[in-house]
Amino acid sequence: MDSEDEQYLKQRLDELQRDVSKKQKFEPAVAALTSLLRDRYSSASPPLRKSYLTVVSRVATVLKTRYTSPGFWAAGLALFRLALTLVSDPAEKSLLLGYISDAEKVVRQDDEPSALPPPNQGFLFEGHLTVDREPPRPQWLVQESFLASAATLFAAESSANSGRPVTETGGDSQDTANLLQSLIDNLDSVLPPGILDDVRGAPRVPPASKKVVANLPVITITEEKLKKLGEEAECCICKENLVVNDKMQELPCKHTFHPPCLKPWLDEHNSCPICRHELETDDHAYESRKEREREAEEDRKGAANAVRGGEYMYV
Give the per-residue SS3 of 277-303. CCCCECCHHHHHHHHHHHHHHHHHHHH
pLDDT at residue 214 in the model: 86
pLDDT at residue 82 in the model: 92
Averaged pLDDT of the chain: 76
CB 234 within 8 A of CB 242: yes
Tell me the helices (H) and strands (E) count for the chain, helix number first. 13, 5
pLDDT at residue 311 in the model: 53
Considering only residues 287 and 172, tell me which one the structure prediction assigns the higher pLDDT: 287
pLDDT digits (tens, 9 = 90+) for 243-286: 888 899 999 888 889 888 888 888 888 888 888 888 888 888 88
Choose among 100, 188, 103, 69: nearest CA to 139. Answer: 188
pLDDT at residue 79 in the model: 93
The yes-or-no verdict on residue 36 having pLDDT over 80 is: yes
Q: Calculate mean pLDDT across residues 42-70.
A: 88
Q: Which of 147-151, 186-190, 195-199 has the lowest mean pLDDT?
A: 195-199
Contacts of 225 (CB under 8 A, 6+ apart): 219
Percentage of residues in the chain with pLDDT exceeding 90? 14
> Residue 201: which pLDDT band, with cuts at 50, 70 and 90?
very low
Residue 234: strand pairing partners: 241
Considering only residues 196 and 257, tell me which one the structure prediction assigns the higher pLDDT: 257
Alpha-helical regions (H) of 163-204 = 173-185, 187-190, 197-200
The yes-or-no verdict on residue 81 having pLDDT over 90 is: yes
> Residue 156: which pLDDT band, with cuts at 50, 70 and 90?
low
Considering only residues 68 and 229, tell me which one the structure prediction assigns the higher pLDDT: 229
Q: Calculate mean pLDDT across residues 184-192.
A: 56
> Residue 70: which pLDDT band, with cuts at 50, 70 and 90?
confident
> Residue 115: which pLDDT band, with cuts at 50, 70 and 90?
very low
Count of C-beta atoms within a 10 Å radius of residue 303: 10
pTM: 0.40
Distance between CA atoms of residues 199 and 123, nearest Å: 38
> Residue 146: which pLDDT band, with cuts at 50, 70 and 90?
low
